[in-house]
Amino acid sequence: MVSMKSPELSGKADEKAQLSGGAGVTSSVSSLAIDREVLARSTMPGQGGVAVVQPYVPFDELSDAEVMLRAKAGDQGAFAYLLEKYRRPMVSFMYRMTHNAGVAEELAQEVFLRVYRSRETYKAEAKFSTWLYRIATNLAVNHARDTRHERPDVSVSLDEPDPVTGMTVDPADGQPNVEENLLRRERLAAIRQHIQALPERQRLAVIMHKYQGMDYRQIGEVLKLSEAATKSLLFRAYETLRDKLKQFV
């Protein structure tokens, strides 16, 4: 598994990093430590290459698009802030797409490498999260297509922990009996398997809606669909899942 740490970016924007074979992605951007002082003040490049210290506005008081515009202007702490904010959601999203924790980490890291390389052409025409999930969606879809003939049928361990929280599917409260616990595990495994079996766009929409907490408008922006078309897409997906899972209802 490739670990992702917040970067002190080295400026090697031309360095190539691709998913391939067993090599995974390079960790040059994400393996370096953050200089914590960068997070405390925004230093922007001025004329003649002389750095000019701007009045400090905390990143959490700005929109994500405004933070990304700071990263575009050369504020390294801005990129580190966005990486820290979205790393876990990206790993979770990629895990739901691949059901492989190691691949999810690598794909999430590749998303941020692509964000970093694209920073100079970034335009705040849409929400930052929409732009981010478009990059992630394209990467996940391409990876699935490239490895379609390399992977066996999807299998899900009933005891598999969540890659982000580390928790298993055991309910924390209520002390269910053995039969109730087994039924819950079987239902969770069935849900995962049937989501994986959905058509590509339906699967993406369900993962973004159910697990990422995105609304119809946000999902539509990522998939380039109208809100009505997104609702219809999700309706068909959930109807399919209800039919496949009716034995658990």
> How does pLDDT run across 216-245, given as a tens digit for each residue?
999 999 999 999 999 999 999 999 988 888
pLDDT greater than 60 at residue 248: yes
In sequence order, the β-bridge partners of residue 44 are 52
- In this structure, what token pair is assigned to residue 54? 């701007």
3-state secondary structure of 43: strand
pLDDT greater than 90 at residue 65: yes
The whole-angstrom separation of Cα 91 and Cα 161 is 14
pLDDT of residue 249: 58
Residue 62 belongs to some domain of the structure: yes
**Which domain CATH number covers 94?**
1.10.1740.10
Q: Are residues 131 and 194 in the same domain?
A: no
pTM for this one?
Answer: 0.64
pLDDT greater than 90 at residue 186: no
Lowest mean pLDDT among 116-125, 182-191, 233-242: 182-191
Q: Are residues 101 and 50 in the same domain?
A: yes
The whole-angstrom separation of Cα 96 and Cα 88 is 12
Residue 85 belongs to some domain of the structure: yes
What's the domain count of the chain?
2
Residue 125 belongs to some domain of the structure: yes
Residue 219 belongs to some domain of the structure: yes
Residue 26 belongs to some domain of the structure: no
Residue 183 belongs to some domain of the structure: yes
Single residue among 91, 122, 146 that ends a domain in this structure: 146
Q: Are residues 65 and 127 in the same domain?
A: yes
pLDDT greater than 80 at residue 207: yes
Q: Are residues 40 and 113 in the same domain?
A: yes
Residue 99 belongs to some domain of the structure: yes
Residue 170 belongs to some domain of the structure: no
pLDDT of residue 188: 78
Note down the domain range covering 186.
178-248
Q: Are residues 120 and 207 in the same domain?
A: no
Render 45-76 in DSSP notation, one character per residue. E-GGG-EEEPPP--GGGS-HHHHHHHHHTT-H
Q: Are residues 142 and 186 in the same domain?
A: no
**Which domain CATH number covers 225?**
1.10.10.10
Q: Quick one: pLDDT band at residue 33, thresholds 50, 70, 90?
A: very low
Mean pLDDT of the region 156-184: 49
